[in-house]
Structure 1
Amino acid sequence: MDAISLDATIAITALSRRTWWRRISQGTINRVSDDERGRAMLSWAEVVSHICLPMEPDDLGFILRADAGQADAQNDIGQLFSIAGKHESALYWLQHAVRQDHPDAMQWLGGCYLRGAGVPKDENLGLMWIAKAASHNHVIAQAQIDALRPKGVKRLPT
C-alpha cells in the first residue's frame, strides 16, 4: 500500500495539521505504520483526492518520490506548485530539494524571494540562492548573475 507522510500531505492539500489529525481521530482517514524515519504516514489512496490542484497521473508519482526524499522529484513538484500559484506548497518541496544541494531548486527558491512568492520579498536572500545555484553550474542562475555584473566585467573561469 502506498503511503505519504503527514507533512507532505499538509503541503499538497493546503489543509492544516489539525484538520488531518481530526480526520485521523474520526477514522475518516487511515494512518498507516510510521516509516523508517518515524514520520506519521497516511494512506495515499485517501489523500490523493484532497490535493489542492489538478494533477496528471504522472505527477502523482512524483509526489510519492518527492516524499521518499528524491531531490529531482522534490524540485519538479515544487516548480509545479509554484507555477500553479500554490507558493507555500512549492516552498515546502523546494526547501527539501535545496537541503540536498539541488541547483535548480536553489534558482527557483531565489526567484521566490525576489518576487515575494510565498515568502517576504527579500532581494538579498533571492540573490544568495541564485548565486549558490550559479556556483553549482546552473546555467540560468549563471546568466542571471552575469546580467548583474557591470559591463566589461567578466566572470572568472570555473
Structure 2
Amino acid sequence: MTVTPRSTTTAISLDTAAIISERSKRTWQRRLAEGEVIRLADDARGRSMVCLTDVAALICIPLQGDDVDLLLEADAGSAAAQRDLGQLFASHEKYEIAVHWLRQAAEQGDADAMQCLGAAHAAGEGVAQDNDLALMWVARSAAQGHVIARAQTRGLLSCGS
C-alpha cells in the first residue's frame, strides 16, 4: 500500500496507529522508544502523535485516494469520517476496527453509525452478538429519523402483535 500524505509530517494519534495497524499501543510505544517511529508534538487534546508515513506500511487495509484524508478527519474527531471509515474497514471484514470507528461516530449522535453499530451487534461482527445492544442502537437511530432503522423497529413491533 502506498500512502502519500500531504506532507512528511502528517500526524495521526498513537491510538489510531494502534487500531488501524492491529498492533498494540505498547508495541507503538516501544517503537517510539527505540526511535523506529517519529514522535511529533502532542495535539491540542494532549494525544501522542506519530508520523503517518511511519505507520503507513502497517495499516491492515489498503488506503487509496481520499481514504488518507478520511483517516485524518476521523482521527481528528469528525463523526461523518468516523462512520465512513468504520464502513470502509467493515467492507474489508475488519469488523473490530469497524466497530471502534462506528462507536465513536454513534456516540457523537451519527444516526447512520448507530444503525450500523446495531447491525454489528445483531450479527456479532466485531463484537459479541447482543440483541439488546442491537435494539438499543437501532432504536436510537430510528428516533433520529433514520429510515432503515425506523423500518427495522416497526418490523420488530409488528412481530409482537
TM-score, L = length of structure 2:
0.90
Identity of aligned residues (%): 45
1:149 CA displacement: 2.5
Are 1:25 and 2:33 matched, yes or no? yes
4+ residue runs of structure 1 moved beyond 6 angstroms? Answer: none
Are 1:120 and 2:153 matched, yes or no? no
Instruction: Indicate the residue corresponding to 2:13 in structure 1.
Output: 5
Q: How do 1:82-121 and structure 2 match up within 5 A?
A: 82-121=90-129
Q: Aligned-residue CA RMSD in angstroms?
A: 1.2
Number of aligned positions between the proteins: 152
- Separation in 2 of the partners of 1:137 and 1:8? 31
**2:147 counterpart (133, 139, 142):** 139
TM-score, L = length of structure 1:
0.92
Q: What secondary structure sits across from 1:37 in the alignment?
A: coil
In the alignment, residue 13 of structure 2 is paired with which amino acid? S
- Separation in 2 of the partners of 1:109 and 1:115? 10
Q: How do 1:61-100 and structure 2 match up within 5 A?
A: 61-100=69-108
In the alignment, residue 10 of structure 2 is paired with which amino acid? D
**1:52 counterpart (30, 45, 60):** 60
In the alignment, residue 3 of structure 1 is paired with which amino acid? A
Structure 2: give runs of 5+ residues left out of the alignment. Answer: 1-8
Structure 1: give runs of 5+ residues left out of the alignment. Answer: 154-158
Question: What whole-Å deviation, never above 9, does each CA across 1:13-46 have from its counterpart, x for those lacking one?
Answer: 1111111111111111111000010000000121
Question: What whole-Å deviation, never above 9, does each CA across 1:51-99 have from its counterpart, x for those lacking one?
Answer: 1011212111100000011110000001111121111211211111112
In the alignment, residue 122 of structure 1 is paired with which amino acid? D
- Separation in 2 of the partners of 1:90 and 1:8? 12
